[in-house]
Structure 1
């Protein structure tokens, strides 16, 4: 069901999924690329088309194999797990792919997994014997505990079935939405990934300066570095899956929107101006560590692209090349942010040794 939801949202979403060109962009523009993303991005065009077709087959066709008998169910489970492993290798998609592997394990029955629990009596033979007896109708009289468990299982199935009605209606709707919860308990939800693909990677680079005048051409602006999101052109993309750097992920979303749509970015700037240790613990490099706090912080907007192998940039050790778009948010200081924070009922950042 997870794969089917993702497959449908793709077919109904970005046209690049229909013209098979989405993988031309995905590796470079996904939230947090890893080192393999760099090399996979440079694959031939025909390989990217093959990847997209394979994605459609696995997400739109393979889920139905689950209901086509034991052998087809086993094949479906194996392919789904292999697909998730490929996604893990090709990008840092957090714990998403690891969680998706879990329901795929249900495709494997006891007989197929018996080799993992081999015993002197032969676990596989025992399982097969039980299955043969069940098929022949030779089942033991259910105990009280078995009956209670059966009632609980049926009740839970009815509850999930009832709560899943809006999810299924959304699934078959031409106006399908993704990543939405339909009940207050959040037991069932609709899911979908990468219904649209960004064609250019934009990044917000946060910079600070100790200069008194941010408009002074001689002001030196120094960059903050996040743990994993692209910033330093010479830093190799990281490997973190299944770990999840939430701030890095949120910065990816902020980069293709505006700071007005992501006011938390200004809140982040205020915390950096006050050298807030909690916020700085979420970042890899603070250029003002052990020095005076920055007087101004700004956000700059850049287009990032992977450098080309064997190019001059790559020879210099650059994994990325970038081009400035313009300002993302203007230079701000603590005093200038006071009214902004008050209007939103945010506590004003406090600088140790000063009154705020």
Structure 2
């Protein structure tokens, strides 16, 4: 929550959700419809995010049963909403698991039969009549001591969070108890995509050259293809293509390796794609990468009535047409000099 509030103005002026559904890594069909919600709904979504990530977590730590239960329910509802709104792999599912600790046996009793609950009640009654051993009190002292130690070590963390010159992670890294993590600290305002195309033409710059597009498993490509549902599954290649669109291919040499593989119709890489237009045919002579801007089509608009989920506009060339022989030097320099 703090990463978001400090990371991007749109989290403070409540406009981030105007862009998020359209620009997230792998949108789902629900993303399309949620993107077209009224502006006031998007503002309420941001406020709900701030409540769930900034305020509700404190309820989990409050030594009151009902506060913990409410805190746990808020987190599960919040994470479920994120799962419904997009494809963020298993991230939100994993986040829900620790929340189960917020619910005690009484709250979860509806999951068990009456016979099981009667047996547990009898065991608890028998245990309460037994004199507690010394180890019980030693454990209590250890628990309180550990809590006090963590509270003391958390002082610089809280000071860092409240500081105007906050340095993320430096306060808690020495504790070695949590990982560096922060999702969507900033929100991109436009969606760009890298589209891979191949041709068998001898001259890639000939206006008559026919360029055929490769289709990935889930990332936007064909504007008429419906966004997919994959969560909690994760298509890592599609995810990486989203990041690659923010940079150029020089910053993503793995893209060159991918192109080299596809210039040879590599069977393994073809399995990672939804559609290889050259599969079971002669491989392409040239492959190029094009850079497009993508936007959701307007609900009820001309594009939507024609079955188009997206509108796209060519920004420019991402990587010029290349053939296998041109890539040998790059493959050798990275140790990718096996047969491609």
Once residues 165 and 296 of structure 1 are traced to their aligned partners in structure 2, the CA distance between those partners, rounded to angstroms, is 59
1:79 pairs with 2:70: no
Check conservation: 2:328, 2:337, Cα contact below 8 A.
no
Aligned length: 336
Please say if residues 72 and 103 of structure 2, whose CA atoms lie closer than 8 Å, have aligned partners that are also in contact: yes
Of 109, 116, 125, which aligns to 2:111?
A: 116
Query: What is the CA–CA distance in structure 2 between the aligned matches of 1:219 and 1:207, rounded to whole Å?
Result: 11
Picking from 69, 80, 83, the partner of 1:88 is 83
Partner of 1:48: 42
The equivalences for 1:98-247 within 5 A come to 98-120=93-115, 122-123=117-118, 126=121, 133=128, 140-142=131-133, 174-177=165-168, 182=173, 188-247=178-237
- The corresponding residue for 1:20 is 14
Structure 2: unaligned runs, 5 residues or longer: none
- What corresponds to 1:267 in structure 2? 257
Q: Deviations over 1:252-286 (max 9, x none)?
A: 10111111111111111111111111111111100
Distance 2:262 2:145 in 1: 52
Deviation at 1:126, TM superposition (A): 2.0
Distance 1:158 1:278 in 2: 54
| Aligned equivalents of 1:277, 1:234: Cα separation in 2 | 26
CA distance in 2 between counterparts of 1:261 and 1:209 reads 25
Deviation at 1:51, TM superposition (A): 0.6
Moved more, 218-227 or 187-196: 187-196
- Say yes or no: does 1:285 pair with 2:275: yes
- Separation in 1 of the partners of 2:146 and 2:235? 35
CA distance in 2, matches of 1:115, 1:259: 55
Runs of at least 5 residues in structure 1 that lack an aligned partner in the other structure = 1-6, 351-356
Deviation at 1:228, TM superposition (A): 0.4
Q: Distance in 2 between matches of 1:152 and 1:277?
A: 58
TM-score, normalised with respect to structure 2: 0.88
User: Which residue of 14, 32, 39 corresponds with 2:33?
Assistant: 39
Residue aligned with 1:110, SS: coil
Q: Which residue of 2 aligns with 1:314?
A: 304
SS of structure 2 residue aligned to 1:9: helix
Contact 1:164 1:188 in 2 (8 A): no
Instruction: Tell me, in whole angstroms, the C-alpha distance in 2 between the residues paired with 1:248 and 1:166.
Output: 39
1:1-20 aligned within 5 A: 7-20=1-14
Alignment match, 1:66: 60
**Is residue 216–residue 238 contact of structure 2 (8 Å, CA) maintained in 1?**
yes
How far residue 290 of structure 1 moved from its aligned partner, in angstroms, is 1.4
Structure 1 contact 118–124 (Cα < 8 Å) conserved: no
Alpha-carbon separation, structure 1, partners of 2:75 and 2:156:
26
Alignment partner, residue 332 of structure 1: 322
Q: TM-score, normalised by structure 1?
A: 0.84
Cα–Cα, structure 1 residues 54 and 99, in superposed 2: closer, same or farther, change >3 Å? same
CA distance in 1, matches of 2:147, 2:258: 45
